[in-house]
Amino acid sequence: MRKIRMGMVGGGKGAFIGAIHRIAAQLDNQIELVCGAFSSDTDNAVSSGKSLYLDEDRCYRSYQEMFEKEAKFSDDKRMDMVSIVTPNHLHFPVAKMALEYGFHVMSDKPATVDLAQTLALKNIIEQTGLLYGLTHTYTGYPMIKEAKARIEHGQLGKIKKVVVEYPQGWLAHKKDEGSKQATWRLDPNKSGISCCMGDIGVHAANLAEYVTGLAITEVCADLTTSITGRVLDDDGTVLLRFNSGAQGVLLASQISVGEENSLKLRVYGETASIEWSQLEPNSVWMKYTDKPSQLIRAGVGEMNAITQANMRTPAGHPEGYLEAFANIYTQFSYQIRSRLFPGTDTTDTNDLVSINDAAMNDVPGIESAIRGMAFIENVVAASQSDLKWHPFLVVPQNITISNELKKS
């Protein structure tokens, strides 16, 4: 066996998320970066690759060139998978071409800029039979796995209320629009129909569904922008109804002054509730009406098998964002390796992250991508509608962006 060979599209010098993906992918020594098309600026693309000590002939000037040339290499050289870390509008064409040329895909979210593209992508995945992963990073936290397992095992009773919030403050002022990260997120031609909900609200929705095991069935949304001249939302509140009858609230904001990445999830059941915060990711609180609250710490006491499979360090040695990201990549690498070496025992490939079938298959994929893109379209449509409750439809919505959103 060997490491999984990865190429990358996007993530060159000046990009934030590319370096995060590279660190995460290589953290557990299961994946190696062998090539890339790191920027639409050809000089930046080549210099970025060189700075990562890649061979110059594998520092490509475009993703088209990379796929065409890599596909011609022998099995002992060509990349196995590509990581897509571009602005949203390139996710679909890059993923489509990668799959058509025979490469597995790991993409930053959202999968595409609209639901129609995501549904088309699903067809391509099914036709090629290749693997597709989506970096809904927060599902990779061990204590999120633990919270999910405890809910599955009935420790909360029937779920009654779900509250998930993701406030940030980095777009609170007009002057904040000048950064590279802000420019494309606020541009509907590159970001899609939503800034805030498409960037972080979709993470919150994904986390709510992932941890509870429930599906959103109706939404009532109020999206706004707080800065004159902005076309896309920078703040929003969504009321949720789930398929079990549970109700919920989702808050996402990029104009909440002083907030960093304060993602928090609270789930209330008939007999107990559970709470997790990204600012304290190694802890989960269980709360009751008839006994003291219980603080559950990563690595202390007996953990669920999937939780344990996503941990590397003993109690008191915190794991965080990079490790959560890495869990998705590492489990994805096991999926690819099982394809490359069928029937081979892969259980000794890693001393840190253990392998079990449930953990290996717990990687967000195209179904999460479809739910995420449907969430974005449904909340934008709901915010534009006079109806109080908008059904959560997994079909493309008829949405136009012609005027500024209402000001908050």
Q: What is the mean pLDDT of residues 276-283?
A: 97
Q: Is residue 180 pLDDT above 90, yes or no? A: no
Higher pLDDT, 34 or 353: 34
Helices of type H across 16-133? 17-26, 42-51, 63-70, 91-100, 115-128
pLDDT, position 351: 54
- What integer pLDDT is reported at residue 348 of this predicted model? 56
Q: Where are the beta strands (DSSP E) in 270-392?
A: 273-277, 280-287, 294-297, 390-391
Res 82: pLDDT: 98
Does residue 131 contact residue 228 with C-beta atoms inside 8 Å? no
User: DSSP states of 265-293 as a string?
Assistant: EEEEESS-EEEEETTEEEEEEEE-SSS--
Q: According to the model, what pLDDT value does residue 404 have?
A: 45
pLDDT at 70 over 70: yes
Q: Examine the pLDDT at 236 and tell me if it is beyond 80.
A: yes
Q: Is the C-alpha dihedral spanning 53, 58, 61, 64 positive or negative?
A: negative
> Phi/psi of residue 286, each to 5°?
-105, 130
Instruction: Determine the 3-state secondary structure of 147 from DSSP.
Output: helix
Hey, CA dihedral for 333, 336, 340, 343, is it positive or negative? positive
CB-CB contact of 285 with 275 (8 Å): yes
Predicted local confidence at residue 354, as pLDDT: 60
Which pLDDT score, from 0 to 100, does residue 403 have? 47
Cα of first residue to Cα of last residue in the chain, in angstroms, is 56
Mean pLDDT, the chain, integer: 94
- Sequence-separated (6 or more) residues with CB below 8 Å from residue 163: 248, 249, 265, 266, 267, 268
The answer to whether residue 355 scores a pLDDT higher than 90 is no
**Cβ proximity of 146 and 307 under 8 Å:** yes
pLDDT at 39: 96
Q: What is the mean pLDDT of residues 343-370?
A: 77
- The distance from CA 189 to its chain's CA centroid, rounded to whole angstroms, is 21
% of the chain surpassing 90 pLDDT: 89
Residues 385-407 have pLDDT tens digits of 999 999 999 988 877 765 445 44
Question: Greatest CA separation found in the chain?
Answer: 66
Q: Which residue has the higher pLDDT, 144 or 398?
A: 144
Asked whether the beta carbons of 325 and 140 are under 8 A apart, the reply is: yes
- Whether 38 has a pLDDT exceeding 70, the answer reads yes
pTM score of the predicted model: 0.94
Q: Tell me if residue 374 falls in helix, strand or coil.
A: helix
pLDDT value of residue 349: 56
The whole-angstrom separation of Cα 345 and Cα 205 is 36
Please report, for residues 31, 174, 228, 303, 344, the alpha-carbon distance to residue 80 in angstroms, rounded to integers and kept in the order given: 10, 43, 46, 33, 18
How many degrees, rounded to 5, is the angle at CA 100 between CA 96 and CA 104?
80
Mean pLDDT of 297-314: 93
Q: Which residues of 285-316 are buried (b: 16+ CB within 10 A; e: fewer)?
A: bbeeeeeeeeebebbeeebbebbbbbbbeeee
**pLDDT value at position 314?**
93
Structural domains of the chain, with CATH: 4-135+323-352 (3.40.50.720), 139-311+368-391 (3.30.360.10)
Pairwise CA distance, residues 164 & 150, whole Å = 18
The predicted structure's pLDDT at residue 400: 73
Q: How confident is the model at residue 218 (pLDDT cuts 50, 70, 90)?
A: very high
Please state, for a pLDDT cut of 70, what percent of the chain lies above it: 95
321, 142 Cβ separation under 8 angstroms: no
